[in-house]
Amino acid sequence: MTWLPFIVAAYVLGSIPFGVLLARTRGIDIRQHGSGNIGATNVWRVLGRPLGLTCFALDMAKGAVPVLVAGAWHQDLGYPASDIHPVDMWLWLAVAGAALLGHMASVFLRFQGGKGVATAFGALLSIWPTLGIPALIALTVWIMCMIATRVVSMASMLAAISLPLAVLALMMWNQDSDGQVVMASSQTPPLLVSVLVALLVLVRHRANIKRLLQGGEHRFK
C-alpha cells in the first residue's frame, strides 16, 4: 500500500500538459497548430527551439521525478535495480507506467495526450541500470536516426523498438563465474515493460506510420 500514493501522484504529475501550458504563454493552443501533438517536437516546430527544449525537459522530468522519489522513499529497494525483489520492481515500474499514462491520457485534457517518448525516457532512465542503460541506447538510436533521416516519428519508433532489444542484451551480459547467463527474476518485469512501452509508442505513432508508407511524413528542419 505504500506504493499507491506514488502511483497516483505519478499519474497526476504525468498528466500536466506542459506543451499546452507553454504554448498558452504565447497565446495559442498547441493542439490547433502543426501536428496537433502536445509534445516537445510540435512545440519546437510551432514555437521555436527554446520552448521546444523546455517542453522536452519538463516532459522528461515528470517521468523521472516520481520514479526517483518513489525509489528514494523505499530505500530498502537496493541498487542496482537488478537486485530488487520482483514484486517491488513491478510496483516501481507501475510508478513509471502511471507517469507515462498520465502524459498519454491526461486527466486535465479529457484523457487525451501526447505520444509519451520524452516522459518514458525520463522514467526509464531513473531505473538504473536495468532500464537506464537501455534508455540511453535507445536515445543513441534516436539521435543517429534523426541525423540520417530528420524524421522524428521514424526515429522515435526505431528507438522504441531498440529498447527491449537493449534490455535483453543487458540480461544476456549478466553472467556467473562459469560464463553462464544468469537470468535474475527481477529482470523479467523490465523486459516485459520495455516490450509494452515499445508497443505503446508504435500504437501512438500509427498515423505517422500511415504517412510514412504514403511518403507524406514531414522532415524536421
Tens of each residue's pLDDT in the chain, 221 residues: 789 999 999 999 999 999 999 999 999 999 999 889 999 999 999 999 999 999 999 999 999 999 999 988 887 665 555 567 788 889 999 999 999 999 999 999 999 999 999 999 999 999 988 899 999 999 999 999 999 999 999 999 999 999 999 998 888 776 554 555 445 556 788 899 999 999 999 998 999 999 999 988 888 77
Among candidate residues 124, 106, 145, 147, the one with its CA nearest the CA of residue 18 = 106
pLDDT at 178: 54
| pLDDT at position 217 | 85
Dist CA 90 CA 31 (whole Å): 34
The predicted structure's pLDDT at residue 38: 96
Kindly give, in sequence order, each residue whose CB lies less than 8 Å from that of residue 174, ignoring residues fewer than 6 positions away: 82, 181, 182, 183, 184, 187
Nearest C-alpha neighbor of 84 from the set 114, 136, 124, 127:
127
Grid cell digits, residue 69: 522519489
Q: Are 66 and 9 in contact (CB under 8 A)?
A: yes
* pTM for this model (two decimals): 0.87
Q: What are phi and psi of 97, to 5 degrees?
A: -65, -35
